[in-house]
Amino acid sequence: MAVYYSMILWVVFIGLIGEFSATLKKNELGEYEKHISKVFVFIAMAYIVFMVGMRSGVGDTPAYIKMFDDMPSNITLFSPEQYTKDRGFTILSILFKQFISQDYHVWLFTIAVISGLAVAKGVYKYSSNYFYSLFLFIVMVQFVWMLNGMRQFIVVSILFCNLDLIVDRKPIRFFILVALLSTIHVTALIMIPVYFYAQIKPFTMEQLIAIVIILVVGLSIDKIAAAFSYTLEDTAYEGYLDAAATSNGSNILRSMVAMCPFVLAWFGRKNILDKKSKLIDVSINMSLASGLLYFISSLSGGILIGRLPIYFDMYNIILLPWLIQNIFEIKEKRLVYFIVSLCSIAFFYYKVKVGMGMDYVSDILNLYVK
């Protein structure tokens, strides 16, 4: 826990330095706005990347290490028959092993850098409060995907920093990006229908219909998977069915936390609609989908649905700071920040200490921290 607490303290510390060193610059309307150098955002993320990159035994890391060690060290030895799952990730890893390093520490650290830079870039591009977004990234336990589920999080983080492809409605470029990323983790394909869902105007009948569709499809996913289970036999995904049968699914608390930004947006919908921000409209839709999928996962096996919410949950760290800044009066903002921060830290403690038991292990740093 001490390692994860240190991430929070680091982001808060760098955030304070960044705020104090901010300068005022004129925007296009001639109004002065506070400007914080992007350097501080990346410095804040750097410590998270360092600790993630130095790990050697957290979550599913040992399985990834074994996978990397078992891979051939020359691309000519790559066998499509042997590697039937997410071949893009496998090919890139073999090329890394051939031309850069056969040390899994370097490989893990490189992946941490790629994901961390993508998150930091997305936060700087889209957040109204950079450091609070990074704070939420930790206390809402989204950073854990860098430790446990890193292959999927590569996809999530790259899509996150390219949110403008959805906001600015550039479907061709977005679909090409999704197709490429699906070779790293096949769940990326869910983002193709999500592109159209994200264009829905919040708080409308269309959004209500989308809610019904998500719930119906999500709650039926186990039956759908069972009906087509024969197609997964003797494939790299055969294990998902067994895992679904034994998984307890997500904790209902996770759904409540993920849904909070959407609920807050509902109460402040008048101000939101007046702002006419496409970025926030998309983020609201993503927040809603995140809460619904976590809810569905809590009622099902969790393995099929449980992997999907992170594609949507990331946008809460953009939405929540914006809501606090724009739907509350100045005197209320500090109180809301305090309440949200306190509740988030309590959730962080529960998930990391009680819910996950994510002991930190690093053979390079000679650390084993419970």
Structure tokens belonging to residue 178: 């999704």
Give per-residue pLDDT as tens, 343-365.
Answer: 999 999 888 877 666 789 999 99
Q: Please give the C-alpha separations between residue 187 and each of 155, 306, 362, in angstroms, as whole numbers.
A: 9, 11, 29
Average pLDDT of span 218-228: 62
Give per-residue pLDDT as tens, 20-76.
Answer: 888 877 655 556 667 788 899 999 999 999 999 999 988 889 999 999 999 999 998
Which residues neighbour 100 within 8 Å (Cβ) at sequence distance 6 or greater?
A: 106, 110
pLDDT band with cut points at 50, 70 and 90 for residue 235: very low
- pLDDT surpasses 50 at 237: no
Q: Please give the C-alpha separations between residue 281 and each of 161, 318, 324, 329, in angstroms, as whole numbers.
A: 17, 11, 15, 21
- pLDDT surpasses 60 at 234: no
pLDDT band with cut points at 50, 70 and 90 for residue 236: very low
Give per-residue pLDDT as tens, 105-134.
Answer: 999 999 999 999 999 999 999 999 999 999
Give per-residue pLDDT as tens, 256-312.
Answer: 899 999 999 999 999 998 888 999 999 999 999 999 999 888 876 555 577 789 999
- pLDDT surpasses 70 at 233: no
pLDDT the model gives residue 230? 44
- Reduced to 3 states (helix: H, G, I; strand: E, B; else coil), residue 300 is coil
pLDDT the model gives residue 26? 61
